Amino acid sequence: MKKNGENGGAGTAFKKSIISLILAVAVLCIAGITGCVRGLQGSAGTEERPMTRVSVIFPHSDDGYWSLITEGIEEAYEELGEEYGIDIKFYIPQLNYNIPQMTDILRQQVAARVDFIIIQGNEDEEFRQVLYEAHDAGIQVICVDTPMEDFPYDLYIGTDNLEAGRLLGQELSELTDGKGDLAVVSGSPGYKNLDDRLKGLREAISAYPDMHIKKIAYDEYDGLTFMQLYHSLDESANVLVCIEGTGGQTLSHTYSEKDTKYDFVVGFDSFEGAETGVLDGIVKQDTNGMGRRAVEEIARYVSEGEYSSRIIYTEAFWLDQYNYDEVMR
C-alpha cells in the first residue's frame, strides 16, 4: 500500500507539468503572433500595402514606338514594383489599332476591377462609355501618348501635341525657305494627338504665304497603305509630312538613303530615318519617359493618394542627321 501523501506528491508534479506545458504553448503562440505582425509590417516596420493591379492596353506592339513606351514601363516597374506592391499586365488587340477589340479588352479589365488602366485615348463613343464605367467602379485611368476631349481619364502623360505640331511647322519652314505644297499623311481620324499636331502645323506655316497644305490623307497605321499614298500624293505636293510614326518608319525600312520623289519629307519618331537622311527631320518624342513616368505616378498615387499633376507633358525634340548625336546621347 502507498503511504498517504504519495498520490498527492504525484498529483502535484503532474499539475506542475501541465502548467509548464501551458506556459510553453502560450510563449510559442505569442512568438507566432509577433512573427505574423512583423510579416505584415515588412522590413521597414510599415504595414504592407495590398497589391495594386495595373492593366496596360496598347494598340500595337511595334518595334519603333509602343515597344519603347513599354520598355519605359518595364524599367520603372523593375525599380518600383516590389516596393509599392504594383503588379502590371499588358494587353494588345489582335489587329493593330482596332478600337472595338481594345474596347472589349477595356471592358474585361473593368469587370475584373483592376486598380489602374493605362491606355491610348481615342474618341470612339463606346470606348468612352466604358471609361465612364471604369470611373464609376473607382478605377484610375491614365492616358499615355494620346489625350481625350473632356473627361474620362484621371491623368495624361505625353507630348504637348499642339506644340509638337508647331515645332514641326517651324522647322519645315526653315528647310523649305517658307515655300512648298504639303501633303499630310495622318494615322486615322478621331485621335486628339494627331488633330492637335495638324492644328499646330497649320498655325506655324500660316506665317508663310507660299506654304500650303494641299492634301490630307490617312494610312490607318498600315505601312502598305502608306506606300500607296507615298507614290500618289506627289502629284499635288512636293513636301510630305508624316504626322505620326507609321510613315517615317515605313520609309526608314524601305530606303537606305533619301528618295527624290519629294523635295522634303518630315515626320515623327522615326529616328533611324533621321539618322540616315531618308527623312529630312523628325519630331522625336520621349517615349521611354512616357512609360517611366506612368509607373512613377502610380507609385506616387499609391503612397500619397494623388498625382503630381493631372497633365504631365514629356519632352519633344527636333532631330535630323546633323544634330543626331547631340540629341540622342
Q: Are 139 and 113 in contact (CB under 8 A)?
A: yes
Residue appearing with cell numbers 509630312: 241
Sign of CA dihedral 263, 195, 92, 100: negative
Say what the pLDDT of residue 54 is: 98
How far apart CA 42 and CA 27 sit, in angstroms, is 23
Q: Could you tell me if 98 and 71 lie in one domain? A: yes
Q: Are 96 and 65 in contact (CB under 8 A)?
A: no
Say what the pLDDT of residue 190 is: 87
In a domain, 168, yes or no: yes
pLDDT tens for 118-167 read 999 999 999 999 999 999 999 999 999 999 988 779 999 999 999 999 99
Higher pLDDT, 144 or 26: 144
Mean pLDDT throughout 7-36? 43
Statement: residue 86 has pLDDT above 70: yes
Cell of 166: 508647331
Q: Could you tell me if 182 and 103 lie in one domain? A: no
pLDDT tens for 152-208 read 799 999 999 999 999 999 999 999 999 999 999 999 998 999 999 999 999 999 999
How far apart CA 283 and CA 168 sit, in angstroms, is 6
Q: Could you tell me if 204 and 146 lie in one domain? A: no
Task: Supply the range of the domain harboring residue 68.
Answer: 52-158+287-314
Q: Could you tell me if 61 and 143 lie in one domain? A: yes
Q: Could you tell me if 128 and 172 lie in one domain? A: no
Say what the pLDDT of residue 219 is: 97
Domain count, the chain: 2
Q: Could you tell me if 189 and 122 lie in one domain? A: no
* Other beta carbons within 10 Å of 277: 16
Say what the pLDDT of residue 279 is: 98
HSE toward the beta carbon, residue 238, CA cutoff 13 A: 9
Higher pLDDT, 107 or 32: 107
Say what the pLDDT of residue 108 is: 98
In a domain, 152, yes or no: yes
Q: Could you tell me if 113 and 224 lie in one domain? A: no
Q: Could you tell me if 281 and 172 lie in one domain? A: yes
In a domain, 190, yes or no: yes
CA angle in degrees (0–180, nearest 5) for 182-188-192: 90
Say what the pLDDT of residue 327 is: 84
Q: Are 193 and 285 in contact (CB under 8 A)?
A: no
Say what the pLDDT of residue 26 is: 44
Say what the pLDDT of residue 58 is: 96
Statement: residue 292 has pLDDT above 80: yes
Q: What is the DSSP string of 154-215?
A: SEEEEE-HHHHHHHHHHHHHHHTTTEEEEEEEES-TT-HHHHHHHHHHHHHHTT-TEEEEEE
pLDDT tens for 62-78 read 777 999 999 999 999 99
Q: What is the CATH number of the domain that holds 66?
A: 3.40.50.2300
Q: Could you tell me if 183 and 113 lie in one domain? A: no
Burial of 253 (0-12, 13-18, 19+ CB in 10 A): middle
Statement: residue 286 has pLDDT above 90: yes
Cell of 198: 495638324
In a domain, 319, yes or no: no
Domain boundary among 269, 285, 301: 285
In a domain, 324, yes or no: no
In a domain, 224, yes or no: yes
CA dihedral 273, 276, 282, 288 (to 10 degrees): 70
Which 3 state secondary structure label does DSSP give 121? coil
Q: Could you tell me if 152 and 172 lie in one domain? A: no
Statement: residue 233 has pLDDT above 60: yes
Q: For the chain, what is the mean pLDDT?
A: 87
Higher pLDDT, 59 or 48: 59
Statement: residue 56 has pLDDT above 90: yes
Q: Are 58 and 221 in contact (CB under 8 A)?
A: no
Least confident range of 19-28, 123-132, 190-199, 304-313:
19-28
